[in-house]
Amino acid sequence: GITRRRSRTVCLSLAVASLSLHLLLSVLSRSVYQNPCDAPSPRQTHLHTLRALVDTNYTSRMSDNHVGHGRKEGGPPMGSGMSKLEALFSHPLYNMPTPPIHEDDWLLKVKHKGKAREMTVTATPPPPPPRLRFHLGISRWQLYPHLDPNMASLAQQLSTHRIVSADVLQKSGGTQLKLVMSFPNYGQAMLKPIKQERDEETNFNLYYFSDFERHNAEIAAFHRDRVLGYRRIPPAVGRLVDVVTEIKDITTDHKLARTFFTSPVFLLQHAVCGRPQNLEASLAMMLPDPSLATRRTWRSPWKCSYSRSKLAVWEKNPDYCDTVKTPPYNKGTRLVDLIDMTILDFLMGNMDRHHYETFEKFGNNTFLLHLDNGKAFGRHSTDEPSILTPLEQCCRIRRSTLLHLRLLSLPQYRLSDVMRDSLSHDPLFSVAPLLSALHLSALDRRLVTVLQTVSCCQERQRSRHGEGDDVIYENVTDYKTLVNHVTPAR
């Protein structure tokens, strides 16, 4: 009846996605330098913002000018001719010199067979496909470089290339439908379907572990991570998938195939349905196979208890951070890496960060992978302060992270504006904006909270030790040299 009744809705049951666990939990659960008539050059504007970012009274001034207090609309630096995203990514903070990457700091290596031979005529080999270029670009420090030219090709592949197979992701502990979609060039992506409309808020009576995984949250999280300068979330794009021709007709997963049904109405509470056949979904690029790049899973020290009656240890002990500072959190960057992730989650409203992963090859000296962000952006009207507990208890933050956050609070680089610009490039933007105006506004509000938390940490440190420098993990000495060079002596 599917081919003859195109007007009917085609649905996919979620019985294949461990719904018994989901249902059980649901039952149990809760003045720039310028002449009067001349627009400043982008370079002058950058120097102005560099000086502003090191102002000791920055946080209080920024809070006074926050949204809701008659702020003026901000644009990119005057006279730059750039979009807001381009202006942000051209700022010196995003283009500081980085040391060369050593051979052992690449995740994957290309093995060349045989010795090089001289040839009178050489043919240029075809470039590797975008997914392989992405995998080969993963290093000890990030998943992809700033302004990576491969990102556009990768997004185009995820959103348009022919899907040759669709299979249920075999992952323990999952409660919702995830499919692995394969492409002709052996690339694979994880599909998460639409489960909640963009303007809906998560029901306040719904226990957060039973919350929906939102397709737009996965896409917005990738853009959010990139805007922050982290680059620790795999690329994710939106796509309209044909439930029949791109899933049902090509899947070899018999258990998945048996769950399809055609219905003129939504009959099943947990069904995933096309409209009538087109299904909005996110496709996130898969990381290299574990056989090539093993990943290690770490339990988050600030994991939620997932219980209505029990509190986690960190919720009862204000000095809990002192107990955490054991390997691997007692040296290197692991603690500030985790606080980076905390800030990302707070901005997105993601309470479901119970574990994180790293590439085993790099040991403890590497970045954290920010995977599984589907439960973010559920509520815009309220914030969840408990997510920021690691920052409040440890009072430690990277200098680069703090400077990026301060930059994103300035009118010409405002976080909500930059995110709106970035998300407008996603294919699903033609259907509807990926984040509602209220969710974008919530980002600005939460950014103020993060900066105020850092300011309180510094004040607390000053009251105890006479200075607040212990809060900052210094990792931008080149930036400090630049600021000293452009800031007039007092």
Binding region: 176, 192, 213, 284-287, 357, 372
Judged by DSSP in three states, 286 sits in coil
The residue among 372, 366, 332 whose CA lies nearest residue 354 is 372
Q: Tell me if the bond preceding 130 is cis, omega within 30° of 0.
A: no
Report DSSP state, residue 189.
E
Q: Is 81 left (phi over 0), alpha (psi -120 to 50) or beta?
A: left
Residues contributing to the annotated binding site for ATP: 176, 192, 213, 284-287, 357, 372
The residue among 465, 449, 471 whose CA lies nearest residue 321 is 471
Task: Confirm if 92 and 413 have CB atoms less than 8 A apart.
Answer: no
| Radius of gyration for the chain, computed over Cα atoms and rounded to the nearest angstrom | 24
- Structure-block tokens of residue 115: 């010795």
Judged by DSSP in three states, 238 sits in strand
Task: Confirm if 193 and 279 have CB atoms less than 8 A apart.
Answer: yes
The span from the CA of 55 to the CA of 231, in Å, is 27
- List all residues 6 or more positions away from 203 whose beta carbon is below 8 Å from its beta carbon: none
Q: Which of 352, 417, 421, 426 is catalytic?
A: 352
Catalytic, 199? Answer no
Positions marked active-site: 352
